[in-house]
Amino acid sequence: MLRGGNAWESNPPRHAERGVTGFEDRGTHRDPSAPKGWYSGDHLRPESVAARLAARLAAPVRTACNHPAVASLSQIPSLRLTTLTDCGGCAAKLGADLLSDALTGLGAETAPDELIAGLNPPDDAAAYRVSDELAVIGTVDFFPPLVDDAGTFGQIAAANAMSDVFAMGGRVLFALSIAAFPEELPRDVMAEIFEGASATVRAAGGTLAGGHTIRDPEPKYGLAVIGAAHPDRLLRKGGARPGDVLVLTKRLGTGLIVSAAREGRTRPDDLAAAIESMRGLNRVASEILVGNGVVGATDVTGFGLLGHGFEMARASGARFAFEADALPSLPGALDLARAGVETGGAAHNRRFVSGALEVGRGVTAELVTLAHDPQTSGGLLAAVPVDRLTSVVGELDRAGVPARRIGQVEEGAGVSLR
């Protein structure tokens, strides 16, 4: 179990009765103008979560002799974390369409020359030049559970949070936990989340050095991550140039698969494949890109392939042309898209790129859905110069990274799916 000293604090909120906003991974996107009763967050109210946890803990446990016994932590039936939240993973992010308005002007004030990446222009993480050979990278990410197993949730949350450092071409130094848990959550469940995260941070070359906790009826977990890189070898959203080839290092479809799993519509093997992908680190892919002199990249997470591609295209002053038939998908993802599954987060993503997206005739609806699907711990999207493509793809393949060529960078603006 993770332990900490003064760096690990637990401060209860001043108003424990505060409401909790549940996002919409299970159904149609909530609109503020929707009639009363159209969406109910009763299951996320503190008393509701406490009641469900209390019921779990109070349920009699049968011994080998079939007599009721008092439940201990080791005897409690497996707790399904996804029953405590309405939406998990990066699908719980505020939509890019909402953030683009809310953040307008933020960061426009004069920043020190040493801040080489931040809000203006925006990038995957902040980067601060300490010397001619060292930049410190900082980022933060957290979300509610998207899987039921506590250790797996910690692993995915950690991999996702560290991805921004790798998307900037950096290495992870250390991380701090950001945790919000119901007080009734069994301590062994909390410990499994911390242990899963700690193991993943170690695999990334860093250390989980502490953190902060608060009480919250809806569990949430993530990391604040500090990394480092050479300031002249950063991967940037604005580094793509016309003629570059677009390469994606993970398959798409985690949002579709996780959302359908909540409704029992995902095959167990398909969910297992998605979990394995989300656990995977972008460390090796990042090192290969930096080692080959690539300068343009981002990671594909909650805004989907088209949303993050649009951000990169806009920052680069170019047009990203994606080839629909080349998009790699996780097993079962396209079947679910054909069946009408789509997360509420995808609705935000569609609105975000609607004015900049051109969809070619003949592109099927399920591929459009896949391209908008919010990813959790997705892969890196890189703009690779043609003369370095063979080396990059070859090294990725030898390292076991399932990279695919999915398009090219062109003169112009916006994004296309053709």
> Any catalytic annotation for residue 90?
yes
Which H, E and C letters describe the chain, residue by residue? CCCCCCCEEECCCCCCCCCCCCCCCCCCCCCCCCCCCCCCCHHHCHHHHHHHHHHHHHCCEECCCCCEECCCHHHCCCCCHHHHCCCCHHHHCCCHHHHHHHCCCCCCCCCCCCEEEEECCEEEEEEEEEECCEEEEEEEEEECCCCCCHHHHHHHHHHHHHHHHHHCCCEEEEEEEEEEECCCCCHHHHHHHHHHHHHHHHHCCCEEEEEEEEECCCCEEEEEEEEEECCCCCCEHHHCCCCCEEEECCCECHHHHHHHHHCCCCCHHHHHHHHHHHHCCCHHHHHHHHHCCCCEEEECCCCHHHHHHHHHHHHHCCEEEECHHHCCECCCHHHHHHCCCCCHHHHHHHHHHCCCEEECCCCCHHHHHHHHCCCCCCCEEEEECHHHHHHHHHHHHHCCCCCEEEEEEECCCEEEEC
Q: Are 246 and 320 in contact (CB under 8 A)?
A: yes
**Catalytically annotated residue among 44, 79, 90, 147:** 90
Question: Which residues are identified as catalytic?
Answer: 90
